[in-house]
């Protein structure tokens, strides 16, 4: 699209929103400061770099597809991420798993990883002015094959994962210290039972004790934020998950930790958007993992749908942007991987922009006065307002491709880079 056309359509859209009392210029300023954390594992199908040709194994996770060009080393991953960030507007972060360290071709056990293995990522992020987030990796390892890690009744296995998680928190805190931006460390474990379990209480008590020990080491909040993540079920944990939503919600509230809401980790009829305003009454912050589950936690590329829109709307309506940490969590190997990043991130940004463009005060006034027709009418009216023109202008003023221009850029990158790997 031509610059003049984008500016023209923006001004038309600006006038339409102004009639509803919405300042689009102010919305664009807010959009500049909404950080979205890109997950590194979309680039390589959750393989990591612990060993050559590593692949995702276990944990109840699954990657499907074999599109050419996946990142096979850190240099290729960084090249892909740089391409993605060159196309996306707004504020970005990078989310790493512990299996993505620079191990120098040596086998470093997870209970032996150190800050030095991630110094390269810290330097890389510093050069780009972005923050880093981090995750312990309690899957794709022989000590996770039995289905239990931090809740394992086998002390040797449990001690291994406790030490691993302690070290991951230390690494995350160092990221936050050096970058001057707090790092979010998230704990997700695959622990659960394929068939009926009769000793859930003991397993959950063990997990609680493991978490208590892990969190006994405190770090400054300006360096590290801790979050814990539940899941309804996974492959191999269909009947029982130790770290259930109820377990982690109770732990988070009692211990003032963030809870991670992954919209693929709940029953398909549950919407995590409805949970945001409830949880924020009891904890300081939450972490979002935005994804798209198709009948289960399939981690399809994020797209704009009712579920995503509600998440964004409830965050804005609760005036909680400064208390909600936004991360992406999908991995699809059936299409161009850098392209998947861009589709998913743009979808998240558009959803939050749409929510910011709502005339919330007017809608609340209708609600308080029992004017249900007017409330619903305006909610529907907003769906046909020209919010796409606002997003195109957001891309323009940030010097990024507008409209469909990014598609050609990704096609060229595929031809020139990905297909030559």
Which CATH number goes with the domain that contains 297?
3.20.20.150
Asked whether residue 312 is assigned to any structural domain, the reply reads: yes
In contact, 192 and 222? CB cutoff 8 Å: no
User: In the listed set 302, 331, 356, which residue is the last one of a domain according to the structure?
Assistant: 356
Pair (165, 195) in one structural domain: yes
**What percent of the chain clears pLDDT 70, i.e. is strictly above it?**
98
pLDDT at 58: 62
Residue 102 falls within a domain, yes or no?
A: yes
Question: How many domains is the chain built from?
Answer: 2
pLDDT digits 0-9 by tens, 304-326: 999 999 999 999 999 999 999 99
Angstrom distance (rounded) from CA 160 to CA 143? 8
Give the CB-side neighbour count of residue 347, counting CA atoms within 13 A. 25
Same domain, 379 and 264: no
Clarify whether residues 274 and 406 are in a common domain.
no
Domain end position, chosen among 338, 356, 374: 356
If asked whether residues 337 and 259 sit together in one domain, one would say yes
Q: With respect to residue 376, please indicate whether it lies within any of the assigned structural domains.
A: yes
29 in a structural domain: no
- Mean pLDDT, residues 335-342 taken together: 98
- Both 40 and 174 in one domain: the answer is yes
The reported pLDDT for the residue numbered 274 is 97
Average pLDDT over residues 183-208: 97
Domain of residue 409, residue span? 1-22+360-421
Do 272 and 400 have their domain in common?
Answer: no
In this predicted structure, the answer to whether residue 51 has a pLDDT above a threshold of 90 is: no
Residues 230, 365: one domain?
no
Domain membership flag for residue 27: no
Torsion, Cα 141 325 295 334, to 10 degrees, reads: -70
- Residue 28 resides in a domain: no
From residue 129, give the alpha-carbon distance in Å to each of 23, 101, 180, 341, 412.
Answer: 29, 20, 10, 19, 27
- If asked whether residues 241 and 336 sit together in one domain, one would say yes
Report the mean per-residue pLDDT for the chain: 96
What is the pLDDT confidence band of residue 65, given thresholds at 50, 70 and 90? confident
**Which of 122, 127, 82, 124 lies closest to 338 in space, CA to CA?**
82
Note the pLDDT tens digit of each residue in 121-173.
Answer: 999 999 999 999 999 999 999 999 999 999 999 999 999 999 999 999 999 99
Whether the predicted pLDDT of 336 surpasses 90: yes
Q: Distance (Å, rounded) from C-alpha 266 to C-alpha 291?
A: 12
**Residues 98 and 12 both lie in one domain:** no
Give the percent of the chain with pLDDT over 90: 95
The answer as to whether 183 is a domain residue is yes
The pLDDT value recorded for residue 80 is 98
Please check whether residues 293 and 412 belong to one and the same domain.
no
Same domain, 366 and 221: no
Predicted confidence band of residue 61 (pLDDT cuts 50, 70, 90): low
Residue range 253-282: mean pLDDT, rounded = 96
* Residue 218 included in any domain: yes
Confidence (pLDDT) at 387 = 98
Residue 60 has pLDDT above 90, yes or no: no
Q: Are residues 347 and 373 in the same domain?
A: no
Note the pLDDT tens digit of each residue in 83-103: 999 999 999 999 999 999 999
Query: Which of these three, 304, 333, 356, is where a domain ends?
Result: 356
Residues 6+ apart with CB under 8 A from 128: 85
Residue with tokens 């500049």: 32
Q: Is the pLDDT of residue 62 over 70?
A: no
Active site residues: 188, 229, 231, 262, 265, 289, 297, 299, 329
Please check the confidence at residue 17 and state whether its pLDDT lies above 80: yes
pLDDT at 57: 67
Q: Please give the structure tokens belonging to residue 216.
A: 């006994």
């Amino acid at each position: 699209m031509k610059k003049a056309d984008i500016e023209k359509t923006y001004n038309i859209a600006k006038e339409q929103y102004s009639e509803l009392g919405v300042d689009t210029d102010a919305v664009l300023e807010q959009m500049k400061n909404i950080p979205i954390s890109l997950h590194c594992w979309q680039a390589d199908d959750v393989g990591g770099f612990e060993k050559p040709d590593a692949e995702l194994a276990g944990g109840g996770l699954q990657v499907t597809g074999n599109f050419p060009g996946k990142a096979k080393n850190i240099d290729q991953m960084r090249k892909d991420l740089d391409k993605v960030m060159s196309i996306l507007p707004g504020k970005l972060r990078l989310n790493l798993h512990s299996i993505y360290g620079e191990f120098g071709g040596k086998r470093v056990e997870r209970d032996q990883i150190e800050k030095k293995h991630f110094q390269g990522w810290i330097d890389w992020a510093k050069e780009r002015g972005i923050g880093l987030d981090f995750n312990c990796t309690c899957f794709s390892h022989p000590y996770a094959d039995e289905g239990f890690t931090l809740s394992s009744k086998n002390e040797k296995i449990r001690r291994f994962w406790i030490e691993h998680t302690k070290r991951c928190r230390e690494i995350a805190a160092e990221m936050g210290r050096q970058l001057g931006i707090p790092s979010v460390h998230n704990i997700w474990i695959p622990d659960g039972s394929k068939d009926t379990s009769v000793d859930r209480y003991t397993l959950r008590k063990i997990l609680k004790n493991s978490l208590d020990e892990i969190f006994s080491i405190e770090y400054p909040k300006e360096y590290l934020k801790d979050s814990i993540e539940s899941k309804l079920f996974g492959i191999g944990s269909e009947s029982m998950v130790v770290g259930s939503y109820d377990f982690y919600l109770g732990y988070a509230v009692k211990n003032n930790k963030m809870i991670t809401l992954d919209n693929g980790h709940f029953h398909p009829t549950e919407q995590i958007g409805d949970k945001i305003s409830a949880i924020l009454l009891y904890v300081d912050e939450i972490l979002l993992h935005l994804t798209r589950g198709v009948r289960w936690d399939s981690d399809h590329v994020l797209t704009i749908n009712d579920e995503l829109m509600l998440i964004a709307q409830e965050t804005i309506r609760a005036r909680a942007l400064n208390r909600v940490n936004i991360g992406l969590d999908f991995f699809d190997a059936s299409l161009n991987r850098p392209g998947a990043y861009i589709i998913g991130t743009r979808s998240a940004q558009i959803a939050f922009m749409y929510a910011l463009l709502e005339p919330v005060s007017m809608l609340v006034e209708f609600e308080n006065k029992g004017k249900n027709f007017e409330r619903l009418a305006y909610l529907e009216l907003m769906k046909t307002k020209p919010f796409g023109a606002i997003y195109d202008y957001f891309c323009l003023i940030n010097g990024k491709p507008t409209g469909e221009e990014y598609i050609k850029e990704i096609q060229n990158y595929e031809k020139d880079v990905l297909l030559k790997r």
